[in-house]
Structure 1
Amino acid sequence: MRIGIIGLGVIAPYFLRAIDQDGELTLTAACDLDTAKLAELTPGVPHFTDYLELLGSGLVDGVVITLPNHLHAPVVTAALAAGVHVTCEKPLTVHSSEARELAAVATQAGSTLFTAFHRRYNSHVRRLAAELPPREQIEKVVGRYHEKIEEHTGDDRWYLDRDRCGGGCVIDNGPNALDALRQVVGELTLTDATLGDVRAGVEFYAELELRTEDGIPVEVQLDWALPGGEIKDIVVHLKDGTTVTADMLAGYHGFKSSLDHEYQGIMADFRAAVAAGPTRVDDGPVVVDLVEQAYRIGRSKERRLRMPAKADASARLVKLLFHRRQDRGMTLSPWSTRCVRAGELHELVTTTELPRLAGDRVDAVGFLGFAEFESGTVIGAGDQLWFGERLVGTVVGFDECHHPNHYNILIHADRLLTAEDLDLAVGDRLVLKESPA
């Protein structure tokens, strides 16, 4: 099978070695805008700087595409339409609509569309998939994909460009993590996603929550900012408290040394997919869907993990209160956040109750006192109230029965606390801090 490669970025050498080591594949063409990279290839391999010229050359039966993510859709479309089989580095596309269009083009042209998920070929992932404990014994599954992205990208700076990459760790590491988990536990449904550590619009951290078809919880942790080294594993937590793990890097001691056998697996499976013909369905669009859903949920949230969104707010006690009530009849406001101006006074009230819906009644309360806020701020549910090194409790909302005179700031604590329980004095400062993410 005659193979061309389009794009000679940081991942291309793994494909090139896999092609060279496969006795049924021959590299017959290469394309890149950088002629210096082309010159480093094996002598005799025709060079192109225009992928359309390569596709029209008649030199290739299939191509490997390792380009920035935003170029996958147009280049894969052109290759498939030309009757050339395609294996494309993950993610197949940035958007779900593009992935579906590629699948339709492949069907119409009778060409093979194949997304290169290299971690599905990892020896430890395959062992775990083959030896997975009975599903009724599984409590949850956690997939971790942690690294320092700058150590992996070489000169390919497009990874840090949202317009070209489509995002950060979710669209880069996410497809490999999600696909590897799908090989182990089956199809997944996304239930939640939270992004974090965002730099110039690119997330360096994310947490995804999913479920298998039979309801097993699956967590995915993606990190581009690990200080050193790598963590790439799948941990199956069993109900008896034990775990079963697939450490993708175990036994592969050199940097990225685990990748060679995985890319060999890609190219062998690509050959098999071409031989199988148009009946094979590519998994690329399924994973693109999961990634797009994760961004839709994560980008709609107000908070970002590992990122402070506001300064601490200090409030000075001007009046102490010492009483408790079991029948106060406060009402949870519909607003989960409130703006506070510098100099405003508001009442700090503890409660052991956890009101959740607007209008919920709050009866069990303890009163700390009135506090004057020293600077303007926004107080929100989830903020933590601290007195010195002691965590007093967490804001659950507001009661507005005395508004516009003041708010009752409702603080959930493990017991009803008053000024005497904390040994408070007039002039003491309490601090409201954003909850740690």
Structure 2
Amino acid sequence: MRLGVLGLGAISPYFLRAIEADPELELTGVCDLDPRKLAPFAERGTACFTDFTELLDAGKADAVVVTLPNDVHTPAVLAALARGVPVCCEKPLTVAAAEAEVMEATARTTGTTLFTAFHRRYNTNLRALTGHLPRDRRDIVRVTARYHENIAEHTGGEQWYLDPERCGGGCLIDNGPNALDAVRHLVGPLTLRDATLGDVRGGAEFYATLSLDADGIPVDVELDWALETGEVKDVVVELRDGRTLAADLLAGYDGFKSSLDHEYVGILAEFRQAVAAGPDWRDPGPGLVRLVEEAYRVGRAKEPRLRMAAKEPVSARVVKLLFHTRDDRGMRLSPWASRCVAAGEVHELVTTVDRPRDPGDEVNRVGFLGFAEFSAATVLQRGDEVYAGDRRLGTVSGFDECHAPNHYNILIATDRVLGAADIDLRVGDHIRFAEAPQ
């Protein structure tokens, strides 16, 4: 098979070495906008192009490998498929589910192979783990996958990885497809349950967590671009009998990214099989494009951003103590999950062992700490942690507004009902409110 390679960036060397290692493949053309990258190939007599359509029309390639930036995958892939040229495309296939569907339709219409390169499914350690899984999937109680790295060590100087407009996001769209495909390869199709983004820099998330389901098996995926140094790439399977099975994808491959070479050999070997299968081949790439897009929709709609402080802690100085407790107070949970507080405002601090959830729920079992003046403007919200000195009292569970507009009752969920005397509180002491850790 004569292969053309579109894009000579950070991933291309792994494809190029895999082509060289496979006697069934021959590199016959390369394409890149940078003439400096093309020069070594020109010296060896390989056809060089700066426009991928010219490479496709030159008739020098039976199939192409696409290693261009993510935002250029769609036009390159569609151009090849329209000409009946099979495509092996580096993950993610594209940045949008609608584009993936057009690719699928074009591949079907032209009868041309579309193949997404998920390299981790060919990892020797992952494949060894596959062989040790129980035949009855009901014996698996949970699967956890981690994909952690320092992205600065992996871009090869290509800034498009950090540009959400070009990459499509951050670690979720970059590392997510490999981690998700590795898990899918073990336990089958995945359904998204939840997604949370975090550590967002310039619009690109450097951290993300996904909760998924594989036909009843809970699956957790953690993605991190901000590891200080080194890499963590592994999958852990927990079994019903208490045992755990694990695959460290980097074990036995000590050099930087040294595990990739055998994985890319695996990619191209299966690509040749996919081309031979013709219309019978169904690419799993579009399914993961849809899954990642759904995860972004869920994560971007949520307020929390993991590992990102949303506000500064604030202190409130106790100006009047209260000591009594009651079990029939009859407060009502406000519908508001947060309240703005101006500097200098005074509000009442109330502990409770009741756990109201819905607006209007009664709060009866309460203890009164007193009134406190806030030193700075802030936003108090459910889940904020509350401290008296170094002692953690509990968390804000909500607000009661029976004394509004004079003041709020700030309800603090505690293990037991507390009054001022129970915690040795004094006038002038400070109560601190801090965002809950994420």
* Match status 1:30 vs 2:30: yes
Local SS of the residue matching 1:299: helix
Query: 2:373 corresponds to which residue?
Result: 372
| CA deviation after TM superposition for structure 1 residue 363, in Å | 1.3
CA distance in 1, matches of 2:276, 2:80: 18
Which AA in structure 2 matches 1:250? A
TM alignment of 1:138-157, pairs within 5 A: 138-157=140-159
What is the one-letter code of the residue matched to 1:185? V
Equivalent residue, structure 1, for 2:176: 174
> Which residue in 2 is equivalent to 1:210?
212
Q: By how many angstroms is 1:322 displaced? A: 1.2
1:339 maps to: 340
What's the counterpart of residue 115 of structure 1?
116
TM-superposed CA distance for 1:362, in Å, is: 1.3
| Structure 1 letter corresponding to 2:6 | I
Cα separation, 2, equivalents of 1:390 and 1:79: 65
Task: Give me the whole-angstrom Cα distance separating, in 1, the residues matched to 2:359 and 2:75.
Answer: 49
Q: Give SS of 2:258's match.
A: coil
2:196 corresponds to 1:184: no
Equivalent residue number for residue 408 of structure 2: 407
Between 280-289 and 322-331, the greater mean CA deviation after superposition? 322-331
Q: Displacement of 1:144 after TM fit? A: 0.1
Q: 1-side partners of 2:351 and 2:54: how far apart? A: 72
CA distance in 1, matches of 2:141, 2:331: 40
Shift of 1:93: 0.6
Alignment partner, residue 264 of structure 2: 263
Once the two structures are TM-superposed, the CA of residue 353 in structure 1 deviates from its matched residue by 2.0
Q: Which residue of 2 aligns with 1:5?
A: 5
Task: List per-residue Cα deviations over 1:154-202 (Å, max 9, x = no partner).
Answer: 1211100011001000000000000000001111100101111000000
> Corresponding residue for 1:385?
386
Shift of 1:240: 4.0
Aligned residue identity for 1:188? L
Q: 1:240 to 1:424 in 2, by over 3 A?
A: farther
Q: What's the CA shift for 1:360?
A: 1.3
- Number of equivalences: 436
- Which residue in 1 is equivalent to 2:14? 14
- Of stretches 324-333 and 141-150 in structure 1, the one that deviates more from structure 2 is 324-333
State how far apart, in whole Å, the 1-side matches of 2:243 and 2:368 are. 45
**Structure-2 residue corresponding to 1:275:** 276
- SS across alignment from 1:369: strand
Residue 344 (structure 1) shift: 0.8
Q: How does 1:171-320 map to 2 (within 5 A)?
A: 171-213=173-215, 215-320=216-321
After superposition, the C-alpha distances for 1:278-306 in whole angstroms (9 at most, x for unaligned) are: 12111011101111011101111112100
What is the CA–CA distance in structure 2 between the aligned matches of 1:217 and 1:355, rounded to whole Å? 29
1:413 positional shift: 1.2
DSSP-derived class of the 1:424 partner: coil
Q: Return 268-277 or 347-356, whichever deviates more.
A: 347-356
Cα deviation 1:81-126 (Å, max 9, x = unaligned): 0111000000001010100110001111111000000001111111
Deviations 1:299-356 (A, max 9, x none): 1111210010111111000111111111111111111011001111111111112211
In the alignment, the residues of structure 1 paired with residue 274 and residue 223 of structure 2 have an alpha-carbon distance, to the nearest angstrom, of 30
> Counterpart of 1:395?
396
Q: Say which SS state the counterpart of residue 74 (structure 1) adopts.
A: helix
Give TM-score, length-normalised by structure 1.
0.98
SS at match of 1:296: helix
Q: In the superposition, relative to structure 1, how do residues 417 and 242 fare at CA in structure 2: closer, same or farther (>3 Å)?
A: farther
The structural deviation recorded for 1:128 is: 1.5
User: 1:10 is paired with a residue of what secondary structure?
Assistant: coil
Amino acid at match of 1:43: R
Matched position secondary structure for 1:40: helix
CA–CA distance in structure 2, aligned partners of residues 332 and 143 of structure 1 = 39
> Which residue of the partner structure matches residue 129 of structure 1?
130
**AA of the residue aligned to 1:21:** A
Q: How does 1:411-422 map to 2 (within 5 A)?
A: 411-422=412-423
Summarize deviations over 1:341-394 as a string: whole Å, max 9, x none. Answer: 111111111111221111111111111111111111100011110122211101
> How far did residue 40 of structure 1 move?
2.4
Structure 1 segment 16-95 matched on structure 2, within 5 A: 16-41=16-41, 43-95=44-96
Q: Flag structure 2 segments of 5+ consecutive residues without an equivalent.
A: none
SS in 2 for 1:255: coil
Secondary structure of the 2:421 match is: coil
Matched, 1:363 2:364: yes
Equivalent in the alignment of 1:158: 160
Partner SS for 1:256 = coil
Percent identity between matched residues is 64
2:354 and 2:180 map into 1 onto residues whose CA distance is 39
* Unmatched segments (≥5 aa) in structure 1: none
Deviation at 1:420, TM superposition (A): 1.2
Q: Distance in 2 between matches of 1:136 and 1:125?
A: 20
Q: Return the offset for 1:242.
A: 3.0
